[in-house]
């Protein structure tokens, strides 16, 4: 009799815990996924709808305690234009995300077997798409063009030693002009036995030439931009600004302004 009472008590506890666990699982099952999308291009809007469906299929009904940020954001790998800026759990049953579009900022022109193709890049250097023409996916205008970089199918532009330097300089151009396309049209990197030179082509006409751009990058582009912005309007129509390393490599020479002959 005593054993029977103990057994009944144990079964009762087990049933109680099972019921409690079942109830908790029901209460804490994801029933809503609220995503605030900040997008503007047709591609990003289409991706937003597809991503919403993907996340709902994956996580609705799952225990919210087991939903981890890394798992959720992994779904964004297939949507290069979308970036998560907020992820949180709103207990007991809701996931909340904020998503922004990575905007096309630059078009890297690369020579391939088919001819010149453009890799559209965000400001942080992410490859968003490959296109036969340089056309911004939001306003239809040309993205800031970058020439002279190499692209590898295995590791993208990271295989090009000039890539990060170019991005750093592009960021300074963007900051100086309040939008890179406002004042600047393109940038070209060229290398030979004497070293590397980076040339920025402004919309007015003057060129900014930076020798050995990976060395003293911030100082060189900063001083060159100061000179460019200080030029009289008539001088911005032609000529070039030059800045480079000194002979010892310990500092810079320039910037100097030379009118085009």
Residue 115 maps to which CATH number? 3.40.50
**Amino acid 8: pLDDT:** 39
Q: What is the mean pLDDT of the chain?
A: 89
> What is the distance between the alpha carbons of residues 70 and 198, in angstroms, rounded to a whole number?
39
Q: Tell me: the pLDDT tens digits for 120-143?
A: 999 999 999 999 999 999 999 999
Confidence of residue 11 (pLDDT cuts 50, 70, 90): very low
H-helix or E-strand spanning residue 174 = helix 163-177
The tokens describing 138, both together, are 């939001």
> What is the distance between the alpha carbons of residues 261 and 244, in angstroms, rounded to a whole number?
21
Same structural domain for residues 90 and 125? no
Percentage of the chain surpassing pLDDT 70?
Answer: 90
End position of a domain, from candidates 101, 126, 143? 101
The answer to whether 177 and 143 have CB atoms below 8 angstroms apart is no
Task: Compute the residue count for the chain.
Answer: 261
In a domain, 238, yes or no: yes
Flag whether pLDDT at 16 surpasses 50.
no
Same structural domain for residues 210 and 254? yes
DSSP secondary structure of 6-74: HHHHHHHHHHHHHHHHHHHHHHTB--EEEEEEE--SHHHHHHHHHHHHHHHHHHTTSBGGG--HHHHHH
The tokens describing 196, both together, are 């590397």
Domain count, the chain: 2
Structural domain for 88, as ranges: 27-101
Same structural domain for residues 167 and 113? yes
Work out the angle between the directed axes of helices 163-177 and 217-230 (0-180°, nearest 10).
30
Provide the 10 A C-beta neighbour count for residue 199: 18
Q: Tell me: the pLDDT tens digits for 200-231?
A: 999 999 999 999 999 999 999 999 999 999 99
**Amino acid 19: pLDDT:** 37
Confidence of residue 25 (pLDDT cuts 50, 70, 90): low
Higher pLDDT, 3 or 90: 90
Flag whether pLDDT at 9 surpasses 50.
no
- pTM, entire model: 0.82
Same structural domain for residues 38 and 164? no
**Amino acid 2: pLDDT:** 58
End position of a domain, from candidates 43, 73, 101? 101
The tokens describing 168, both together, are 């750093």
CATH code, domain carrying 60: 3.10.20
In a domain, 15, yes or no: no
The answer to whether 37 and 51 have CB atoms below 8 angstroms apart is no
């Amino acid at each position: 009799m005593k054993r029977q009472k103990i057994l009944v008590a144990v079964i009762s506890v087990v049933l109680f815990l099972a019921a409690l666990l079942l109830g908790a699982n029901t209460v804490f099952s994801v029933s809503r996924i609220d995503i605030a999308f900040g997008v503007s291009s047709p591609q990003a809007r289409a991706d937003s709808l597809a991503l919403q469906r993907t996340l709902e299929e994956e996580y609705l009904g799952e225990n919210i305690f087991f939903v981890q940020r890394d798992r959720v954001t992994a779904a964004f790998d297939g949507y290069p234009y979308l970036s998560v800026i907020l992820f949180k759990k709103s207990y007991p049953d809701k996931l909340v995300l904020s998503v922004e579009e990575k905007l096309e900022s630059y078009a890297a022109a690369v020579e391939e077997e088919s001819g010149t193709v453009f890799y559209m890049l965000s400001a942080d250097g992410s490859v968003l798409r490959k296109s036969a023409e340089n056309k911004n996916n939001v306003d239809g205008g040309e993205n800031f063009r970058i020439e002279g970089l190499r692209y590898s199918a295995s590791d993208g532009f990271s295989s090009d030693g000039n890539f990060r330097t170019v991005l750093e300089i592009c960021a300074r151009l963007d900051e100086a002009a309040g939008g890179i396309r406002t004042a600047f049209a393109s940038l070209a990197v060229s290398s030979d036995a004497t070293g590397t030179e980076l040339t920025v082509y402004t919309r007015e006409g003057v060129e900014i030439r930076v020798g050995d751009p990976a060395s003293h990058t911030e100082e060189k582009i900063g001083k060159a931009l100061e000179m460019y912005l200080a030029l009289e309007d008539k001088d911005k129509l032609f000529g070039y600004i030059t800045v480079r390393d000194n002979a010892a490599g310990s500092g810079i020479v320039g910037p100097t302004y030379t009118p085009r002959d």
